[in-house]
Structure 1
Amino acid sequence: MNQSLVGSKTMVVSPHYLASSAGNTILLRGGNAFDAAVAVSACLAVVYPHMTGLGGDSFWLTYCSKEQKARAYNGSGRAGSKADREFFSGLDSIPYRGIKSIITVPGMIDSWDAILKKYGRLTLAEVLAPAIEYAASGFPLSNDQYENTVQRADVLRQDSDTASIFLPDNRLPNKNERFVQRNLANTLKQIAEKGRDEFYKGELAKRIVTSLQEKGGLLTFEDFSGHSGNWTEPISASYRDCTMFQVPPNSQGFAGLMILNILENYDLASIPHGSYEYYHLLTEVIKASFQDRNAVLTDPDFHPIPLEKLLSASYASEMAQSIDFSKAKDSFSEPVGNDTAYAAVVDEEGNCVSFIQSIYFEFGSGVVAGDTGIIMQNRGSFFSLDPSHVNRLEPNKRTFHTLMPAMACKNGKPYILYGTQGGEGQPQTQAAIITRMLDYHMNPQQAINEPRFLWGRTWGEATQELKLESRISQNVSDELEKAGHIVNRVAEFDGVMGHAHAILIDEQGFLHAGVDPRSDGEAVGR
């Protein structure tokens, strides 16, 4: 994996080297950052199919050098018109897997179209070409896909269309085995030839819906044909001498800003990095922001979200004063999906794209839509069936969404693009990476490589653990435990910490990148 490519004028980072390479190829062919980002997104849908795909959602932060402005695109889907709580009567929650977990329309294809139409130079067919080639001809099965296939083979066997792709000949594929997805290649060709509407209004949409309905699904052709994402203004906050941008709700991005607002009340640089005080403070700040996030986050079209209050300096100061440096507060987190793909692109003109996409859980719902090769997301399973819950299931509603690409600007121009995989982990790892870069002056790779932590509950756990990578000293771990944290020491570079990546643009305009050693990623620049 490449570290900082000093002197680079363009840069692509992603969790898979083939996707990064594809983005670089598009730049070399005359495309800009927006063209390259869509190419990376499409390639990740092919070469990282356990994390993301055409059946999922995406969120985008963009900066156009001509406009000198950051913008956001919400590429998340809404619940179907027939998706109501009555359908799940008798259940405590929406199933996490299977056909009943597929209740939201995928938004990613729409986002490709929006990005290219607004800012791209090349055609959809041109930017999808690398993804089509990888799907049709195959690629070496990554370590990450192999490990997730082994762990979730029981899920993959539940749907025959899924099993035929991911468990060829009813067996586990080997690492580096050629992995071919012919049906997905045909689907991508169809979209390349006929455009966005083929996925939402055309023959492809009808095939997807017919297959899902035959399996007992809720989504209708009208749900697909009525879908649209939307451009929106990013939300922002100041941290040190930077303006920090996130996408607005239904994304949890505001929680990332709340964390930084609270930390702004501390001279973090005076706290030794990697010390008890460092990990304790970040953990307690994260807990505080999550309490508000959990109480209000949903589709803002259905319920108002008091961002003005939550992102105010006075509220951050109030929260900072409540933190006890000697004791961990009791708090609660709901386990959420952990599998996502973050990537970023910067071109020679200074255009920037920070984006993230997901099918929610590893392999999403576990259900492929017939012969399309598209594995469908289970994002809608995060809706609540409690009628009093702010994120309760309602038709045509967007759910609480974990996806949150980030961008820091300095003197009005992009400075750092960053993000990470992992549901609950996204605000946490973002906070760790950006404080390491802005407060401790680490380069992107060092900030990503330093030991990480993760607070909260994950699937199958009954407690709110503070997971610490074992590279964190035992003394620090013991101090955290004495303060009341439920400490669980995990592997040195544990996959539960997610895949984080970043690009820094220095004062000379040179680009420096960091890619996560836990991923199969690469930083590619020239």
Structure 2
Amino acid sequence: MRDFDFPGRSAVHGINGAVATSHPYASQTALEVLRNGGNAVDAAIAAVATLCVVEPHMTGIGGDCFVLYAPGGGGEVVGLNGSGRAPAAADLETLRTQGLEAIDQTSPHAVTIPGAIDAWCRLHERHGSMDFAELLAPAIGYARDGYAVHARVANDWHSLAGKLRNNEAAAAQFLPGGAAPREGDLHRQPALADTLTQIARQGRKAFYEGPIAEAMVASLKALGGVHALEDFSSFESEWVTPISSAYRGYDIHQIPPNNQGVVALVMLNILEGYDLAKFGPLSPLRTHLEIEAGRLAYDMRNRHLADLEALEVSLDRLLSKDWAAELRAKIDPECAFPDIPDLGLTTSDTVYLTVVDRDLNTVSVINSLFHGFGSGILSAETGVVFQSRGASFRLDPAHPNRLAPNKRPMHTIMPGLATRNGQAEIGYGVMGGDYQPFGHARLLTNLIDYEMDPQAGLDCPRVFALGNRVEVEKSLPTETLLGLQQRGHTLTLATPSLGGGQCIRIDRKRGVLTAGSDPRKDGCALGY
């Protein structure tokens, strides 16, 4: 139970519906859709479109989207992979002959075909109930009439000013007067409003064909990109069967590769072998075990993970409880792994939201540009900021995640959904680039092993093992930090704090939805 003598948030409870997003405008938009008779999918689409305007550094229609959905709150979960592919003309050897060892996030070669709009349209076509144009109307209003910049958005925006100055169009749109907006400033995106209006009227065709697509391709080609109109017009997101693993009576569902959701499942499979509840949620031992499980799971990711068609090891092997036991046996509860290599991990930002409606339809949505303001490249005519997801490709010809034409890169953003006894129970996600599997494992063990409510589970201090050093949030107790150092961990302060998440839990016995929203962001949970 929350200690009311200290600052904090209470969990939010709803009866007819609940929403949790990273921005108050998006949460309000989603709740209004539910109140007006829309279902969870309708509310999620309206909310994510709003986020693409009011959190422009975190997400946008020039990015990608993944969805997990449990219709009617049942145990059958469907997945949608709305991640973009490399252009058909992408060529690994050409980049290598230019002396490149990696794709820079601000390069046009980092821009994969945006998948978000196609994903929204396909999700709405199959599971939505309201008019699509009505769902985009709030986002269009914010883009055209303006929105007040909130605190966390302003903080991040300011830190990205240097990146924005590298692109004339981006600087003109996002550095009005030569500087990032301050908290409380009004900001408008009229070109984006026009593009969203065309999408509202014509659906996905307006984005992937015709003048908007032509303008986007021209912007990329002018910078040396190899994108073509056919890359846009031929794009299709993909309905997929989620992968899952059991954890203490729950089935935890994730999107299959090219998504990194399997990393969280491997972490949970390792941690399942410990009676975590005995150790205490902030104990050094619980935190140490999470760090070591993460190091093992991320090492697997870096060696093996790629698009499903390029995967060179079976998913059955990666999700095997026997293999998890082999990995667990490598962990010393009293000593950190020696000689840990640099895992090449970084944190980045995105948006995550979850919605549950009166019929218990449960949707878990994540939408991203990858790095802050993605590639930093703006198509001025359309208002579209392009993502930087292609920076995840490897330029090593022997690696399964190597760049290739029409190939999807390994993807960090991952929605989560947990079922129990054949019924949806938890819609959740924790954003933060490479951090996300750590965040998923932390939140789920908080909810399941330590019986925290969604808000308390999100509030809990976090750590992230980047390899041979561990980032820790300043809210971790001294006892925990000392215990980690005694086990040989090298600690550094996480700046900024790690990730941000949302969560809704369904309590069927009491007929109540309980929601939480991460205090590390501007957002909130709402219910009615």
Q: Distance in 2 between matches of 1:292 and 1:479?
A: 27
Kindly indicate whether residue 47 of structure 2 is the aligned counterpart of residue 45 of structure 1. no
What are the Cα deviations for residues 241-291 of structure 1, in whole angstroms up to 9, with x where unaligned?
A: 111111110000011111111111111111122111011001001111111
Kindly indicate whether residue 462 of structure 2 is the aligned counterpart of residue 452 of structure 1. yes
Kindly state the Cα deviation for residue 402 of structure 1 after the two structures are TM-superposed: 0.4
Q: Is the 8 A contact 1:402 1:426 kept in 2?
A: yes
What residue ranges of structure 2 are gaps of 5+ in the alignment? Answer: 1-7
Counterparts in 2 of 1:71 and 1:279: CA distance versus 1, 3 Å: same
Partner of 2:79: 72
Partner of 1:137: 145
Kindly indicate whether residue 491 of structure 2 is the aligned counterpart of residue 483 of structure 1. no
The aligned runs of 1:10-21 (5 Å cut-off) are 10-21=17-28
Kindly indicate whether residue 226 of structure 2 is the aligned counterpart of residue 218 of structure 1. yes
The aligned runs of 1:434-513 (5 Å cut-off) are 434-456=444-466, 464-490=468-494, 495-507=496-508, 508-513=510-515
What is the letter of the counterpart of residue 511 of structure 1?
L
Q: Is the 8 A contact 2:307 2:409 kept in 1?
A: yes
Kindly state the Cα deviation for residue 166 of structure 1 after the two structures are TM-superposed: 0.5
Q: Is the 8 A contact 2:161 2:179 kept in 1?
A: no
Partner of 1:402: 412
Q: Distance in 1 between matches of 2:147 and 2:153?
A: 12
What is the letter of the counterpart of residue 310 of structure 2?
F
Partner of 1:251: 259
- Which of 116, 120, 123 is equivalent to 2:124? 116
Partner of 1:360: 370
Partner of 2:381: 371
Partner of 1:516: 518
Kindly state the Cα deviation for residue 95 of structure 1 after the two structures are TM-superposed: 3.8
Q: Is the 8 A contact 2:21 2:353 kept in 1?
A: yes
Q: Distance in 1 between matches of 2:132 and 2:269?
A: 40
The aligned runs of 1:231-270 (5 Å cut-off) are 231-270=239-278
What are the Cα deviations for residues 418-438 of structure 1, in whole angstroms up to 9, with x where unaligned?
A: 111111210111111110110
- Which of 435, 439, 444 is equivalent to 1:425? 435
Q: Distance in 2 between matches of 1:473 and 1:144?
A: 24
Q: Distance in 1 between matches of 2:516 and 2:73?
A: 27
Q: Distance in 2 between matches of 1:96 and 1:454?
A: 24
What are the Cα deviations for residues 81-106 of structure 1, in whole angstroms up to 9, with x where unaligned?
A: 11111332233334423343443101
Kindly state the Cα deviation for residue 368 of structure 1 after the two structures are TM-superposed: 0.3
What is the letter of the counterpart of residue 156 of structure 1?
L
Partner of 2:5: none
Kindly state the Cα deviation for residue 78 of structure 1 after the two structures are TM-superposed: 0.4
Partner of 1:525: 527
Q: Distance in 1 between matches of 2:444 and 2:488?
A: 26
Q: Distance in 1 between matches of 2:14 and 2:221?
A: 53
Counterparts in 2 of 1:7 and 1:45: CA distance versus 1, 3 Å: closer
SS in 1 for 2:472: strand
SS in 1 for 2:105: coil
Kindly state the Cα deviation for residue 67 of structure 1 after the two structures are TM-superposed: 6.9
Counterparts in 2 of 1:11 and 1:175: CA distance versus 1, 3 Å: same
Of 444-453 and 86-95, the range deviating more from structure 2: 86-95
Q: Distance in 2 between matches of 1:2 and 1:478?
A: 28
SS in 2 for 1:334: coil
Partner of 1:296: 304
Kindly state the Cα deviation for residue 68 of structure 1 after the two structures are TM-superposed: 5.3
Of 432-441 and 465-474, the range deviating more from structure 2: 465-474
SS in 2 for 1:512: strand
SS in 1 for 2:464: strand
What are the Cα deviations for residues 51-81 of structure 1, in whole angstroms up to 9, with x where unaligned?
A: 0001100110001118752100000000001
Of 46-55 and 138-147, the range deviating more from structure 2: 138-147
What is the letter of the counterpart of residue 69 of structure 2?
T
Partner of 1:460: none
What are the Cα deviations for residues 466-492 of structure 1, in whole angstroms up to 9, with x where unaligned?
A: 1122222223212212222111134xx
Q: Distance in 1 between matches of 2:300 and 2:107?
A: 32
What is the letter of the counterpart of residue 478 of structure 2?
Q
What are the Cα deviations for residues 401-454 of structure 1, in whole angstroms up to 9, with x where unaligned?
A: 001111111111111111111112101111111101100111111111121111
Give the fraction of aligned pairs with identical amino acids, expressed as a percent: 38
The aligned runs of 1:181-200 (5 Å cut-off) are 181-200=189-208
Kindly state the Cα deviation for residue 197 of structure 1 after the two structures are TM-superposed: 1.2
Partner of 2:356: 346
Kindly state the Cα deviation for residue 233 of structure 1 after the two structures are TM-superposed: 0.5
Kindly indicate whether residue 330 of structure 2 is the aligned counterpart of residue 326 of structure 1. no
Structure 1 consecutive aligned stretches of length 4 or more whose deviation exceeds 4 Å: none
Counterparts in 2 of 1:276 and 1:108: CA distance versus 1, 3 Å: same
Counterparts in 2 of 1:195 and 1:384: CA distance versus 1, 3 Å: same
Residue-pair matches, total: 517
What is the letter of the counterpart of residue 38 of structure 2?
G
Of 474-483 and 27-36, the range deviating more from structure 2: 474-483
Counterparts in 2 of 1:346 and 1:248: CA distance versus 1, 3 Å: same
- Which of 288, 292, 315 is equivalent to 2:323? 315
Kindly indicate whether residue 57 of structure 2 is the aligned counterpart of residue 60 of structure 1. no
Partner of 1:28: 35
Counterparts in 2 of 1:392 and 1:336: CA distance versus 1, 3 Å: farther
What is the letter of the counterpart of residue 526 of structure 2?
V
Q: Is the 8 A contact 1:424 1:456 kept in 2?
A: no
Of 91-100 and 476-485, the range deviating more from structure 2: 91-100
Partner of 2:134: 126
SS in 2 for 1:514: strand
Q: Distance in 2 between matches of 1:514 and 1:495?
A: 21
Kindly indicate whether residue 398 of structure 2 is the aligned counterpart of residue 388 of structure 1. yes
Counterparts in 2 of 1:95 and 1:321: CA distance versus 1, 3 Å: closer
What residue ranges of structure 1 are gaps of 5+ in the alignment? Answer: 458-463
Counterparts in 2 of 1:278 and 1:172: CA distance versus 1, 3 Å: same
Q: Is the 8 A contact 2:265 2:319 kept in 1?
A: yes
What is the letter of the counterpart of residue 498 of structure 1?
G
Kindly state the Cα deviation for residue 337 of structure 1 after the two structures are TM-superposed: 5.3
What are the Cα deviations for residues 489-521 of structure 1, in whole angstroms up to 9, with x where unaligned?
A: 34xxx6330111111111323111111111010
Kindly state the Cα deviation for residue 43 of structure 1 after the two structures are TM-superposed: 0.6
Q: Distance in 2 between matches of 1:503 and 1:63?
A: 13
